[in-house]
Chains A and B, each alone.
Chain A
Amino acid sequence: MLIKPAADLRDNDVTDHALYLDRRRFLAGAVAAGSVLGVGRGLRAATADDTPTPFEAVTTYNNYYEFGTSKEDPAVTAPGRLKTAPWTVAVDGECAKPGTIGLEDLIKPVQVEDRIYRLRCVEGWSMVIPWRGVPLSEVLKRFEPNSKAKYVEFTTLADRAQMPGLRIPVLDWPYVEGLRLDEAMNPLTLLATGLYGKDLLPQNGAPLRLVVPWKYGFKSIKSIVGIRFTENQPLNSWQKYNPREYGFYSNVNPQVDHPRWSQANERRIGEFRRRPTLMFNGYGEQVAGLYAGLDLKANF
């Protein structure tokens, strides 16, 4: 079966380096114009399609609390601190072939792909990012999950020496995320190693991160050091922090508001006006089937 993740977004939409440098200049101008002239530009932008977000924005506007809670922090504190090589991932739990495996050996057997996905943050902003990576399913299969494996739990590195943010107990470190096994095996789910055709930068979750484009961004866990197959639903960090506001599924859903802000629309970074948020972030065709019969309001 041919899988076409996001038919509207193709490989050749990935911007080449010269053009993205150009975009940096555009962004600087757009930011100024957007704030001063706002209106005219905004009306145009509101109808624009999914142009990849400039590299500059993708790599300097990050939520990565292990490196500080402001969005500007990770790009400043992560490079030079986060040691991404050598990198190993411990795989255990309900599978026939657990073990600790080096990053190279984890990725090498699988064909690396470029995929452009929309990223929708739970905070109400979004980007379009050209990722590079491998389908998670291809990686997970090799560990031969057994019949008890219903979920997959992921863990981020938690090293005080490398991550200054860990000194502040904002969340219960290490950061943990989880997917149902069928979500993890969905062809859209990507284990990313790069973006814009290059290796991931530390602030984006180098050297290995999850990308689940139909879920809010916090599900796409960064700098993964642990993968565990479990029988029970994992308790992800944000749900643990505030179960009223963050659920396990966290599918992008304009009809289910976050208690503190609307999820009906979003601000695409680089645009002035808000645009409507799409059900499953626009990936309903590929993933809606996973949730047939599930009350998405109760299972937010």
Chain B
Amino acid sequence: MRWLKPVVFTASLLPVAWLGWQAAYGSLGINPVETLNRFLGDWALRFLLLALAVTPLRQWTHWAPLARLRRMVGLFAFFYVCLHLASYVGIDLFFDWAALWKDVVKRTYITLGMGCFLLLLPLALTSTDSMIRRLGGKVWRKLHRLVFPAAILGVAHFWMMVKADIREPLVYAVILAVLLGWRLRTFVRTPQRA
């Protein structure tokens, strides 16, 4: 299974590569700033859900190598979250910090999005082997349960941003519910291991 990680790593870079290609040779549409920001947000959410899908998929398929992908997919989720945040702060708001602060405190969907980022930040920082050792498996696992509220905030952020047509955020919400439901099921079945 030595091919697995490099293949997934390369595939995970495709969205950002596509974006770069479009920006350079194609078009990001009539409102490129909006396109850029939405595109990065979409992929941040997709990778976040994908990261949450790794463990259920492994348990379901009994294919052990999947476990090795969890950290990488999770870090890609954080990577796209960072790009999404950077495009919002750096390109959309053009580093208008006052406007950013107003947005964060005043607009619920931005508050939630920022909350999602802040919850993911310690997870990314403690993703290295040495950090796992330093924290100890138990504490580390406990800390990394923050990914669940982070994902909920992420989906809520998208849901509340949408003006009226909630079909797309609904799809994400259903997938998240299934992924959280799976864990609840295993949790109920084997409470001592949880």
Contact = CB atoms under 8 A, between A and B. Distances in A.
Same assembly: yes
Interface of A: 27-28, 31-32, 34-36, 38, 42, 56-57, 60-61, 65, 69, 71-72, 123, 125, 168, 170-171, 241-242, 257, 259-262, 264, 267, 269, 272-274
A260 B109 contact: yes
Contacts of A241: 164
Residues of B in contact with A, size category: 20 to 34
Contact of B33 (A56, A69, A262, A267): A267
B73 to A, nearest CB: 27
B15 interface: no
B149 interface: no
Contacts of B34: 125, 267
B29 A170 contact: no
A35 B91 CA distance: 9
A276 B106 CA distance: 19
Interface centre among B27, B32, B160, B167 (most CB of A within 10 A): B32
A267 B24 CA distance: 22
B30 A262 contact: no
Contacts of B26: 32
B132 interface: no
A28 B27 contact: yes
Chain B interface, >50% SS class: helix
Nearest to A57: B30
Contacts of B93: 274
23 contacts: A31-B27, A31-B28, A32-B24, A32-B25, A32-B26, A32-B27, A32-B28, A35-B23, A36-B23, A36-B24, A42-B94, A61-B29, A61-B31, A65-B164, A72-B29, A170-B164, A259-B108, A262-B99, A262-B102, A262-B103, A264-B99, A267-B33, A274-B93
Contacts of A242: 164
Interface of B: 23-34, 36, 91, 93-94, 99, 102-103, 106-109, 160-161, 163-165, 167
B44 to A, nearest CB: 18
A40 B99 CA distance: 21
Nearest to B160: A260
A38 B108 CA distance: 29
Contacts of A171: 164
B163 A168 contact: no
A35 B27 CA distance: 9
Contacts of B33: 34-35, 267, 272
A71 B36 CA distance: 15
Chain A interface, >50% SS class: loop
Contacts of A57: 30
Given A31-B28, A57-B30, A269-B30, A259 B107 contact: yes
A38 B91 CA distance: 8
Given A260-B108, A260-B109, A261-B107, A31 B29 contact: yes
Contacts of B106: 257
Nearest to A272: B33
A35 B94 contact: no
A35 B36 contact: yes
Given A260-B108, A262-B102, A168 B165 contact: yes
Which 6 pairs between the two chains have the least Cβ-Cβ distance? Answer: A61-B30, A69-B165, A35-B23, A35-B32, A57-B30, A170-B164
Contacts of A261: 103, 107
Nearest to A124: B34
Contacts of B24: 32, 36
Contacts of B29: 31, 61, 72
A122 to B, nearest CB: 9
Contact of B164 (A56, A69, A257): A69
A52 B91 CA distance: 24
Nearest to A28: B27
B30 A60 contact: yes
A290 B24 CA distance: 48
Nearest to B23: A35
A265 B100 CA distance: 13
A32 B25 CA distance: 7
A127 B44 CA distance: 30
B28 to A, nearest CB: 5
Contacts of B36: 35
Contacts of A60: 30
Given A32-B25, A125-B31, 18 more contacts: A27-B30, A31-B32, A32-B23, A34-B33, A35-B32, A35-B36, A36-B23, A42-B94, A65-B165, A170-B165, A171-B164, A241-B164, A260-B109, A262-B99, A267-B31, A267-B34, A269-B31, A274-B93
